[in-house]
Structure 1
């Protein structure tokens, strides 16, 4: 398979995953909005999937999209590095940069990007607020009263 064919297939797959992410995002926002899961009744479903299930589909589509974008960048690494180097050095030639340095920078950036995502998740988890169990029970009782009244 030629490099051009491989590039086309990866780009086409990326587009399909992007369209899937847009579709699941629209489903989550407009078709099964927050609250459609139901506390006192079975959750609303679309094609046998509830809102939480569509969230899972959306998440795994995002992971797949990240993989395809990484493949796309890998295929265009020389161009991306050369263009970035030219922009950062104000037009000077980046031809003097050896291939092993370009690859070292790329392989060095990968763990840095992954580490930043891990750090983001760790920090975000520390800011998760969960209501006190007594407050949660009171809120559920108030909701039940409103639903009955």
Structure 2
């Protein structure tokens, strides 16, 4: 398979996954909005999938889209590196870096992005609070009975 064929297939898959994300997002927002059932009765469904199921599809499509974008950037890394360096240098002559140096910088940037995402999730989980979390701390107020009056 040639590189241009691989680029085409990855870009086509990226477009399809992006359209899937848009479709599931529209379903979640307009067809099965929050509160569309499930508390006192069976949840509303679309094609046998409830809102939670559509949310799961939306999430996995986002993961697939991120993976395809990483592949796309990997296939175009020389262009990304050269163009970014040229923009940051602002007219100064661009030294040609060795291929291993470009790849090392790319891997470090990719690791930094994944570490940032990981830390975001860790800190978000640390600060989640439940509405029932402080129930035992609430003060019970006793009202006088009619017999006491």
Q: Return the TM-score normalized by structure 2.
A: 0.86
- How far, CA to CA, are the matches of 1:47 and 1:101 in structure 2? 50
- Unaligned residue ranges in structure 1 (runs of 5+): 136-149
- State the SS of the aligned residue for 1:91: coil
Alignment coverage as a number of residue pairs: 135
5 Å-filtered alignment, 1:1-149, equals 1-132=1-132
- State the SS of the aligned residue for 2:24: helix
- State the SS of the aligned residue for 1:96: coil
- Unaligned residue ranges in structure 2 (runs of 5+): 136-149
- The Cα offsets for residues 25-58 of structure 1, whole Å up to 9 and x where unpaired, read as 0000000000013211000000000000000000
- State the SS of the aligned residue for 2:38: coil
Of Structure 1 and Structure 2, which has the larger fraction of its residues in helix? 1
Q: CA deviation at 1:91?
A: 2.7
State the Cα RMSD in Å: 1.4
- How far, CA to CA, are the matches of 1:27 and 1:101 in structure 2? 45
- How far, CA to CA, are the matches of 2:85 and 2:134 in structure 1? 58
- State the SS of the aligned residue for 2:13: helix
- The Cα offsets for residues 47-96 of structure 1, whole Å up to 9 and x where unpaired, read as 00000000000000000000100000000000000000000011334342
Asked if the contact 1:37/1:50 (under 8 Å) is kept, the reply is no
Q: Return the TM-score normalized by structure 1.
A: 0.86
Give the structure 1 partner of residue 138 of structure 2.
Answer: none
Higher-Rg member (1/2): 2
